[in-house]
Structure 1
Amino acid sequence: METPLLLSPHLNTASKMRSLCKIVKSMNKEGAKTESKSRTQEKRNRLSLLQKCELHPNVNLDKFEKLTKASSESPDMVKKWGESFDNLISQKAGVDIFTRFLRSEFSEENIEFWMACEDYKKCKDDSQLPLKAKTIYETFIEKEAPKEVNLDFNTKACISESMKHPLLNTFDAAQNKIYALMEQDCYPRFLRSNLYLDMLHGRPHGCSALRRRSRSFTFNEFKDAQPDFSIWM
């Protein structure tokens, strides 16, 4: 008599487990492929950022995209900035871009002092003048002030004396001198700067510097360099 074949529930369970293992292995392989692609893309992104940093080292990578965007100012407006210094600083956008240029030369205290004087002259409450005048004097005028501007001794002495009873015109002479300094010295350099020229020609700021760097690059710069493999350990 033939013995009937009985399917053990244990055998069915083992079969299910083997199938489940196959599925898990397949999923792990797909996950590994996806992770590998992700790591490869991450490496490419890092390499791209390092190349940008090398070509334009003064740019903060977090702000790189902002710096490379073209100016929103119209070409006609930017052109007028080049016609006179007064056209440049009579508009907020012009003051902002000129301040940015002065920061690159570490001389932004000049435009900040000029703007502080403009704000001071708009004060309509005489009782506020002493406090405002003191703030300007201690910030820009007195010896070793945190943002001391370049003024002659006589001009500083007159301002110091007027601190007892400051008037709306207390800083006029000093403001005019700093205006003349920026117009004759800083403004011509601003017109020759890549910052202004890129805006004038509608180019993203920074592209001029990148092009110069790529043209001047030669293999000779690195022919004597020795690789340091320790950084990868």
Structure 2
Amino acid sequence: MSGEGARHEDGAEELLRRALLDASDAAAVSLAIGDLPLSEVVTVIFHGRRDLGTIQTYVARGRHGAGTTVSARELMRVPCDLDLGDAADREQAQELYLQQATALREALVGADTVLDVWREPLGDVAGGTITIERSVELDVPLPAHRVLPVALVAPERQLVVAPVCGARTLAEGRPPLGIACAQQDLARIYPLPDDPVRCLEEFLDAAAGHARELAERLAHQEASVARFLELSGEEPPLH
């Protein structure tokens, strides 16, 4: 597991452990979202603790209802947290929760639907078989936070396509979403409504340019070392 993944698991384990130690100061609410074209079913878990000062949002694969145990490695942190601080009473808090949870639900449904639209163009442009990776961890780093534990993978291109989001509270409305295209050392984020074919062609052009630059840099370094070794039997001139 990567260092980031290990930190995520440690943090989630600590959160769950502390919740068990003092359940009176902690609460968790789950929201299942089904009929998603790629993710199928996910569960949003809102977890709040007095000492954390936030109501943190997690997403897990599958359906998890009340009383279900969810391990830390199944939780994906999504930095779009509930904010009920403006509620004057319980009734207003319920209204704010409904508004914000609905906004997140719509965002997740939209992100999954758009990613499904990308599946066919990705196969046409990248070639080869496209796989659906339903997992919390990915082998390729992304330039923004993931919003769903799902991604499209083009193995022949070592290309990952996944929905991402910006960090902000749900009191500000639906979180800003995008589609990230990433290889091991290159990543781009495209607006959700953009044409997938145009985005993929632009990314692959950028990847080809990046590969050429890398090859030229390596060739230059090799030439530099070769010239230096030619001087190994001579005293280099000093000016």
- Which category of TM-score, normalised to the shorter sequence, fits these structures? under 0.3
Highest RCO, 1 vs 2 (Cα 8 Å, sep ≥ 6): 1
Structure with greater helix percent: 1
Question: What's the TM-score once normalised by structure 1's chain length?
Answer: 0.26
